[in-house]
Amino acid sequence: MNKGFFNIIFVVISMLVGVLVMVSVLSSGSNEIGKLATYMSIGCFLLGVIKPSVAIYVLVILAGYSDLLKRFMVLGSSITDFDLVFVLSMSPLTLAGIVTHLFVSQVIYQQMRKVDLLRFVGCTIVLLAVGASALLGDGGVKSLRVVADYGAFIYLLYVLPILYPTKKDLLRYAKFAVIVFIPVAVYGIWQRLYGFADFELDYLATGLSIESRQLGQVGIRPFSTLNAASSLTIVMASCSMLSYILFRFKMIGVVLWISLQVLFTVACIMTFTRAGWVCLSIYPFVVIALRYRLTTIIGYMCVILTVGLVVCYSDWFLDNLHGWQHEISGDHGTSTQAMKVTTLYDRFLGFSNLKNPDNWQPFGVEQSHVPSEYRYEDPTFSHDMISRFIFKWGYVPATMLVCVVGVLLWKVHSVIFGMNDKLKKQTTLILGANCAVLFSLAAGSYVFQFPANVFLWIFTTLTLLFCTKYNEEGEGSYE
């Protein structure tokens, strides 16, 4: 009787809250979608606090489709930065609610393990470092997004192992993510074939999206329901690799695997953004190389040698890139878009600037703020993660980061080489995907931007679980 009474009270209160929200949205005088996003952000946070096991699935759905709300804002009243803040904050607030619930519960019920505390402290240090960097930067909405992308979502490393303590559980969550992004892939292919919808063109015309640069270009680079083509290509590559992993663990059938593999690979190719192409291309070679000690050492030596050669011969590439594009693809058309060298030119310019001794300072050099059209005259210009980090933070933090990453990789490889063949094949499938998406850092920091970073941290958490729980039995049926 009491349970039925409380259910009735809950339904009545929910209806009243819904009516109040609707009235507030329609009578606010501001952008209706932005106002709705305000209430949705609050609701997402509360859901994370109350029911984290449900909110973590909502987070994946938001990863795939929250950017659509930004586009729908053009259908309402005028758009302000305040509206954008709440649209962009739904996913971080969802994760914040989950973290709040898990941390408080572990403290109250004294269930905090040492490894959980270490992950939480590590994630917090990263968040504080990114936040301090943003405060010292230009500020504004862009800085808030940087804090969320680079600092907040790393808490998935703390959240996922608690909610999914076994490898099989986390693989099921990854399977859900793959399914959620099927419509994203389909719509990306549709955009490439038939162009953007009218409301999307209106959205690009506002200048609120980085993809506004596509207006007036020959051909388009689809970004589907995500924020940019660079995010779409990384996400599609990640889903393609995950599809293969799920198939090898017998979590999907062969017909479904082939269908998903073709869908996500085609969607990745259709973005005409090379970062995803490279991820998919190197994945099988990385997986095979990581299984053996000698090939792993050779692989790392090849990466270091390649980076060194690119830096040394960057000026030669700068002198020849435009001529190569003209010879390969002519002046117009799809081939020109696929082989466009403008961004390659920018990256080689950043590598060339690495040869400038003045840019090698212990704690970074003062960044020049010049208009984009004069970027080639900027001695600190960079368009890749490597040179950008060295120019901004200096060689001392860069050396410390390399040492930390080196120690972690040493431990991971030591564990892998001590596994039996079956477990080694399992783990290298995951670690290979992790390395493949991280390889995109040579093209920029796209993999750390939402929603691509969700897949990065899923891969990373899976790698950690496979390396720390490799003695568990019955964790999947890989063959």
Domain boundaries, given as residue ranges, for the chain = 164-479
Q: CA–CA separation, 465 vs 463, rounded Å?
A: 5
Confidence (pLDDT) at 181: 95
Confidence (pLDDT) at 478: 31
Q: How far is CA 191 from CA 220, 231, 337, 454, in A?
A: 8, 15, 16, 24
Q: CA–CA separation, 87 vs 35, rounded Å?
A: 9
Give tens-digit pLDDT for 127-138. 888 877 777 665
Q: Using CB atoms within 10 A of its CB, is residue 375 exposed (0-12), middle (13-18) or buried (19+)?
A: middle
Confidence (pLDDT) at 43: 87
Q: CA–CA separation, 166 vs 464, rounded Å?
A: 11
Residue ranges of the chain with per-residue pLDDT less than 70: 1-32, 76-81, 136-142, 211-219, 322, 325-343, 366-377, 443-444, 469-479
Give tens-digit pLDDT for 398-418. 888 889 888 888 888 888 888
DSSP, res 150: I
Q: CA–CA separation, 419 vs 421, rounded Å?
A: 6
* Nearest Cα to Cα of residue 384 among 296, 322, 445: 445
Taken in order 308, 312, 314, 320, is the CA torsion positive or negative?
negative
Phi, psi of 57 (to 5 degrees): -75, -35
Give tens-digit pLDDT for 178-231. 999 999 999 999 988 888 877 777 777 777 777 666 666 656 788 888 888 888
Q: CA–CA separation, 400 vs 155, rounded Å?
A: 22
Q: Assess contact for 164 and 176: CB atoms under 8 A.
A: no
Confidence (pLDDT) at 477: 35
Q: Assess contact for 101 and 52: CB atoms under 8 A.
A: yes
Q: CA–CA separation, 158 vs 161, rounded Å?
A: 6
CB neighbours of residue 374 within 10 Å: 10
Confidence (pLDDT) at 381: 76
Angle (CA) 459-266-239 rounded to 5° is 15
Q: CA–CA separation, 349 vs 343, rounded Å?
A: 10
Confidence (pLDDT) at 353: 82
Confidence (pLDDT) at 475: 43
Q: Assess contact for 467 and 160: CB atoms under 8 A.
A: no
Confidence (pLDDT) at 395: 81
Confidence (pLDDT) at 392: 79
Q: In 3-state terms, what secondary structure has residue 362? A: coil
Confidence (pLDDT) at 126: 86
